[in-house]
């Protein structure tokens, strides 16, 4: 590959990253319906054609932002789990606490918890979730099971139950007016439920 080709690819990657960052701010601030690709293009300082070189339309741009947000969430959850203590239960609770914190953040939680429901179909969200945050939860549940948790219960069913509980609780937290305070109550309830099933 020539230096020119490498530099060109780097420029394309940088332009795509710029649009993704600007679009993340736009969708977080205005929501999908009121987000403006005109504002994104203007802030980028690029030509409109540059945006559409990378993304087919507004929905395609949102999907890319959602994927980026889910990868960032996955990284945050993995870090929380890995640094959550010595025991699998403590590590799992650190993961849950971080999940609720993300959902309670009006910027970080809006795209994955609220806007994605209006823009992406269930199969698309499911596929992206399977590639990002679900493996972390499955690993955490596997560690709990190896440590003697779940008393022989079906691990897949437990995983679906816990994932659904986290996700729906997170969605509720993300729309509450006092989300940061409420997330602690959700966390305590989740901790109590987890104690019953492990």
Q: Where does CATH 1.10.10 sit in the chain? A: 1-55
Residue 4 clears pLDDT 60, i.e. is over it = no
Which pLDDT tens digit goes with each residue over 142-155?
Answer: 999 899 888 878 88
> Looking at the domain covering 1-55, what would its CATH class be?
mainly alpha
- Average pLDDT of the chain is 91
Q: For 6-33, what is the mean pLDDT?
A: 92
Residue 172 clears pLDDT 80, i.e. is over it = yes
- pLDDT grade for 63, boundaries at 50, 70 and 90: very high
- DSSP assignment of the chain equals --HHHHHHHHHHHHHHHHHHHHHHHHHHHHHHHH--HHHHHHHHTS-HHHHHHH-SSHHHHHHHHHHHHHHHHHHHHHHHHHTS-SSHHHHHHHHHHHHHHHHHSTTTTHIIIIIHHHHS-HHHHHHHHHHTTHHHHHHHHHHHHHTTGGGG--HHHHHHHHHHHHHHHHHHHHHSTTHHHHHHHHHHHHHHHHHHH-
Q: Where does CATH 1.10.357.10 sit in the chain? A: 59-197
Pick among 3.50.50.60, 1.10.357.10, 3.30.200.20, 3.10.520.10: CATH of 59-197: 1.10.357.10
| Out of 21-25, 72-76, 77-81, 189-193, least confident range | 189-193
């Amino acid at each position: 590959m020539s230096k020119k080709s490498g530099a060109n690819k780097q420029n394309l990657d940088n332009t795509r990253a710029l649009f993704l960052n600007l679009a993340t701010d736009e969708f977080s601030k205005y929501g999908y319906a009121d987000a403006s690709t005109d504002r994104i293009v203007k802030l980028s300082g690029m030509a409109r054609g540059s945006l559409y070189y990378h993304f087919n339309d507004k929905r395609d741009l949102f999907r890319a932002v959602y994927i980026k947000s889910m990868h960032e969430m996955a990284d945050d959850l993995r870090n929380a789990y890995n640094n959550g203590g010595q025991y699998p239960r403590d590590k799992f609770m650190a993961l849950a606490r971080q999940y609720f914190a993300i959902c309670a953040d009006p910027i970080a939680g809006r795209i994955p918890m609220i806007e994605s429901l209006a823009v992406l179909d269930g199969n698309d969200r499911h596929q992206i979730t399977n590639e990002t945050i679900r493996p972390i939860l499955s690993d955490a549940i596997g560690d709990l099971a190896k440590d003697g948790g779940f008393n022989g219960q079906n691990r897949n069913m437990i995983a679906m139950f816990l994932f659904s509980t986290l996700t729906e609780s997170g969605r509720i937290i993300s729309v509450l007016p006092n989300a940061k305070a409420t997330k602690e109550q959700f966390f305590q309830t989740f901790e109590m439920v987890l104690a019953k099933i492990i």
